Structure 1
């Protein structure tokens, strides 16, 4: 099987995760129990996930010229992600997410840092990289104008584009008309369409999004699995896999990378969505977004396990 070539254009963050027995009150200092420094950012997570599945993966993004930037770049390289398109800047620190966890809940503050400097001019030199790709994966943690420029460049070269519209925001029609597959969750679908995506509203919201331009909408539903619909076709539901959940961070990124990998190797859409569900299910059984991304062999073993009678 030919190795697929995937380009991921997006964010790189260091996640600073602090565990505590409870959240502090305003002005209060409490003692935490553990702290973790975890490579993250939706772009970085999706790049690592695609690479672990076996894709030749190029990451395009920006980090600060600091220790966190070096650690994030090294994490990508350790996972065989090509980092020659990751730019270091001295004009801003590396992006970070400050995450406090207590009682199975969390408070998160994201500081974009260098991600906010990943501008359209950074995309102008990607002609050769995009031309060599099978598929381009995009998210919304870098400036919107850069996402638009990336999608339009990919379409000029006839490449498949997946847009994971997170974090949710209103999008220009020019972007959505350059996207083949859009992968919102329910809340993102609601923000994009203004239609309550529960009950009968789910398909109505998906239809409204399809009318804006993408060829297909794949909506992730957490523990309920996912649904997908192509223009002019019926809605299809795909059930979730029941696993022991350790950490849901990066579950959506695993799904998007799995979908991109499967489409890149020629899977039909139904098989690709089901493959993505398996990748996501395995990812949540481990701690850490990038550390939890499964390999292709692990996904294959999981698929065989699902075929065994209980």
Structure 2
């Protein structure tokens, strides 16, 4: 099928997106005020943006590579070193003079972001072999639809996420590009904005007109799954996992990484969704995005120690971990 050579038998995932050096400040009592200094309880420096998904996939057990721009300045060197430590393949990255930088201020249960750089991503080179899984945003899918469709014809599983549309237009061309995807993973707000609907079930069903499988993440309302079949679309709601969140940075990326890992092993969709939920739940209990992603082994141990999470998703996590262990041992 033309896939890249697997490292130690692991399935391969490509992740396309903008890359950042993230500086995360957690525990602010209020928004910054001119002339004021706040001392906080937690902080971190790590690769961000596309690195959130790439590192999470690598830690969960996939052979992970990024398609992005990497800065040639000192911040870019830090990002490159940190990604090398995570075994993320940077050989498909292209260079730009300056590294994107984001400061994330975590307060009141959410975060505010300040970013410097350019939101640009290179198109995949023609000589890139097809991966097992490709994680991509809708705007990028529009730009690279033909190349991605070629990979999908070779067996690549294409998972698209939405990303917030700052223009507020939520254009139909994005949805039409989902013809080159297998799975669409918006959050509930994105799903309803794109479809101009008022409820999550209506949005999920409407999206199945464009893509075979829709996985809508809805926070405390769980995950809504809709699939297109020969008859009417089928719908399932997977209950949410309850944890005490301290930083939501990278939660959606961790979910997508877990979903990708599960599907790359051939696991059923519900098992893959459960792994995504557990990866996201682990992440929000820690500071940062990529640095808070779990390794598969420690995630399995953490799930087993929480009776509520283990009852809902533990068997799914163990099933996927066993699949990864079996292909790695070959």
Give the TM-score band, short-chain normalised.
Answer: 0.7 to 0.9
Q: What displacement does 1:18 show?
A: 4.5
Q: Distance in 2 between matches of 1:277 and 1:178?
A: 25
**Residues 32, 18 of structure 1: CA spacing in aligned structure 2 closer, same or farther, 3 A cutoff?**
farther
Q: Distance in 1 between matches of 2:206 and 2:278?
A: 28
Structure 1 residues without counterparts, runs of 5 or longer: none
Secondary structure of the corresponding residue to residue 291 of structure 2: coil
| Cα pair 2:10 2:63 within 8 Å, conserved | yes
Partner of 2:22 in structure 1? 15
Q: Distance in 2 between matches of 1:24 and 1:276?
A: 33
Partner of 1:231 in structure 2? 228
Q: What displacement does 1:301 show?
A: 1.7
Partner of 1:189 in structure 2? 191
Query: In the TM superposition, what are the counterparts of 1:169-248 in structure 2 within 5 Å?
Result: 169-170=170-171, 172=173, 173-196=175-198, 201-211=199-209, 213-232=210-229, 233-248=233-248
Query: Which residue of 65, 80, 89 corresponds with 1:58?
Result: 65
TM-score by length of 2: 0.80
Choose 232-241 or 263-272, whichever is displaced more: 232-241
Q: Distance in 2 between matches of 1:261 and 1:147?
A: 23
Partner of 2:285 in structure 1? 285
Partner of 1:89 in structure 2? 96
Query: In the TM superposition, what are the counterparts of 1:155-174 in structure 2 within 5 Å?
Result: 155-168=152-165, 169-170=170-171, 172=173, 173-174=175-176
The yes-or-no answer on 1:99 pairing with 2:104 is yes
CA RMSD for the aligned pairs?
2.5
Deviation readout 1:156-189 (Å, 9 max, x if unpaired): 4331100111124435244211011000001111
Q: What displacement does 1:21 show?
A: 4.4
| Cα pair 1:17 1:100 within 8 Å, conserved | yes
Structure 2 residues without counterparts, runs of 5 or longer: 1-7, 312-330
Q: What displacement does 1:259 show?
A: 0.2
| Cα pair 1:138 1:147 within 8 Å, conserved | no
**Residues 287, 106 of structure 1: CA spacing in aligned structure 2 closer, same or farther, 3 A cutoff?**
closer
Q: What displacement does 1:2 show?
A: 4.3
Aligned length: 292
| Cα pair 1:286 1:292 within 8 Å, conserved | yes
Q: Distance in 1 between matches of 2:243 and 2:158?
A: 30
Q: Distance in 2 between matches of 1:170 and 1:288?
A: 31
Q: Distance in 2 between matches of 1:24 and 1:279?
A: 31
Q: What displacement does 1:103 show?
A: 4.7
Which stretches of structure 1, 4 residues or more, deviate above 6 A after TM superposition? Answer: none
The yes-or-no answer on 1:30 pairing with 2:41 is no
Secondary structure of the corresponding residue to residue 177 of structure 1: helix
